[in-house]
Structure 1
């Protein structure tokens, strides 16, 4: 397959807090260097794109020396933390903004869906916006008309297609925007995290359409998402951007593993008191949790003991008779692995519940990162519910006495089966 997109030494610099360089002196200095054919003097300054640190310089490199290439028909996943530079890269690829240095070489038309409402005029109807977007992509009216019914049907916005899009919900806008971008036959489709706005049914349909575009029609897709399951299901290759630089490129499984290893810091004590993204009336809340192996200074291993120690805020001194503690373990791409509840035990004490240890003598989880969602009820009422409250790591262990390790991509759960030859 031929290379359809090539990024060479892409960098993007911004001045913090202002537009342009921020002063007439800097603008004149840049112009004077350009007039004499010299390098921009401000390319030599600028801090690293790390949003968690305090700014010490006026300039920041949102992207620095990004190089990669994409072949025709490939689906490339672009992953990284918020603020890493993913959206800036897509805006450069889509010609929304220009790079400070470097160049993008492409073959064919690029259609972009970068944020809700991108490329739409609010006063125009959905139908009029379809024709306008097609014209921007260089298509004739006859070509757009031939695709019109298919686009409208895919979007599911038939009832409102002749209504101005300013009256659409964000979900409807995304539906129509994706339908237009995917059906007007671009050689390269660029999709940012906007699909998260749509409902589950539409997300499934959109991912299916992107798969059809790449495998069936040989078109190229660049896909940014924080949903690792979507990246894994859709993409073959991926790149990882961290603090504005490309740190990993290659097979999607390897890139996702690198991202998760560096993004999730496993702790033996995790405070949950400051978490605000939780539901419930707050009468009993989780304040902290510890996850450890056979002792507090050991990490959990497959086949070895694993312990969860939950510490509660319980000012009304509810006892374990009144409280139900439940938790669910998901893998690193959001697939549900295990669920358990204190209802399955024989906890029936009148002592106020302040802490609870939940143990498994033989950890049946394969090595990897896992996320835990917690759910607490008191007399049937939800008091604390935290989605992905904390994460923990399981190390490889000798679950099987044969010493055989099960590949993580084959199974998250380990079990002993009995093999016996019939006589």
Structure 2
């Protein structure tokens, strides 16, 4: 670890407390979950006092409180202790808060080096350009490839293709797919993420809403019905994922872009208060007044 026995003893309690594994000290590390392992690895690395700390997607695991601790620790290492932190991440808010210089990589190649604002804007623009293109020629997708998503559409309840989702209306997100000829894929799960400005707003999954087994072959489409579309107006990006027998088959970020327009979501003629236009997630609710005196 690069520390003497005395240093290890001195920092042991601090490391285990930071990683929040106090209750699992007697458990072999090989039995830790992936999240616990990454938390421990970050805690050890952060307390080594290295000249350069490289953090690769650590914010992808752990709950919100642990992520907040990681951000605080990286900020302390960088600003208070004067050491270099290299943060590898797709989470733009963290990058914008911590970094004063950014580089953008694509397939191992450096394609941009500049200020945080410049690179983040370029990265977001690139995602939008990809989402506006077709799926057939996309080479940035991952997975085995026995099945591919071939189209993404919005439909109304009658199955007709629509060009925009209206807040408060029932909307179908429709994914066309194609399986390699002669193959049948078992125990499939199909997922869709709806994002905006690199923030995930909600996800749809065939594996969460019921226990039916999904088998895919040939060509077809999978429709996800979203009652009372819960997002206000704007352009959103779509990420897609398909697996079979727990093996990733197709994974693609910025697979498509969808347009949402404001509607009478609450049935009150109002969608937001004046000055609240930046809010995107809509929730049906009611209220009552109970006087106690």
Query: TM-score under structure 2 normalisation?
Result: 0.54
Q: Is the 8 A contact 1:293 1:301 kept in 2?
A: no
Corresponding position: 1:398 with 2:262: yes
- What is the match of residue 136 of structure 2? 271
- What is the match of residue 310 of structure 1? 176
- For residues 327 and 363 of structure 1, the distance between their equivalents in structure 2, rounded to whole angstroms, comes to 17
Q: Which has the larger radius of gyration?
A: 1
**Which string of whole-angstrom CA distances, capped at 9 and with x for unpartnered residues, describes residues 71-97 of structure 1?**
xxxxxxxxxxxxxxxxxxxxxxxxxxx
Residue 271 of structure 1: how far off its partner (Å) = 2.8
- Check 1:179–1:226 CA distance in 2 against 1; reply closer, same or farther (3 A cut): same
- What is the match of residue 226 of structure 1? 89
- For residues 190 and 334 of structure 1, the distance between their equivalents in structure 2, rounded to whole angstroms, comes to 29
Residue 150 of structure 1: how far off its partner (Å) = 3.9
Q: Is the 8 A contact 2:141 2:250 kept in 1?
A: no
Q: Is the 8 A contact 1:302 1:396 kept in 2?
A: yes
- What is the match of residue 291 of structure 1? 153
SS of equivalent residue, structure 1 residue 211:
helix
- For residues 216 and 268 of structure 1, the distance between their equivalents in structure 2, rounded to whole angstroms, comes to 41
- Check 1:312–1:273 CA distance in 2 against 1; reply closer, same or farther (3 A cut): farther
- For residues 183 and 56 of structure 2, the distance between their equivalents in structure 1, rounded to whole angstroms, comes to 44
- What is the match of residue 126 of structure 1? 2
Residue 180 of structure 1: how far off its partner (Å) = 2.0
RMSD: 5.4
Report 1:186-201 matches (<5 A).
191-192=53-54, 194-196=55-57, 200=61
Residue 228 of structure 1: how far off its partner (Å) = 0.6
- Check 1:152–1:206 CA distance in 2 against 1; reply closer, same or farther (3 A cut): farther
- Check 1:287–1:273 CA distance in 2 against 1; reply closer, same or farther (3 A cut): farther
Query: TM-score under structure 1 normalisation?
Result: 0.41
- For residues 292 and 198 of structure 1, the distance between their equivalents in structure 2, rounded to whole angstroms, comes to 32
- What is the match of residue 375 of structure 1? 242
Q: Is the 8 A contact 2:178 2:217 kept in 1?
A: no
- Check 1:415–1:336 CA distance in 2 against 1; reply closer, same or farther (3 A cut): closer
- Check 1:352–1:403 CA distance in 2 against 1; reply closer, same or farther (3 A cut): same
- For residues 94 and 256 of structure 2, the distance between their equivalents in structure 1, rounded to whole angstroms, comes to 22
- Aligned pairs, number: 245
- What is the match of residue 248 of structure 1? 117
Residue 274 of structure 1: how far off its partner (Å) = 5.1
- For residues 240 and 121 of structure 2, the distance between their equivalents in structure 1, rounded to whole angstroms, comes to 21
Residue 398 of structure 1: how far off its partner (Å) = 1.2
Please, which of 32, 38, 46 is the counterpart of residue 178 of structure 1? 46
Corresponding position: 1:364 with 2:240: no
Q: Is the 8 A contact 1:374 1:386 kept in 2?
A: yes
Report 1:59-74 matches (<5 A).
none
- For residues 235 and 66 of structure 2, the distance between their equivalents in structure 1, rounded to whole angstroms, comes to 30
- Check 1:365–1:258 CA distance in 2 against 1; reply closer, same or farther (3 A cut): farther
SS of equivalent residue, structure 1 residue 248:
helix
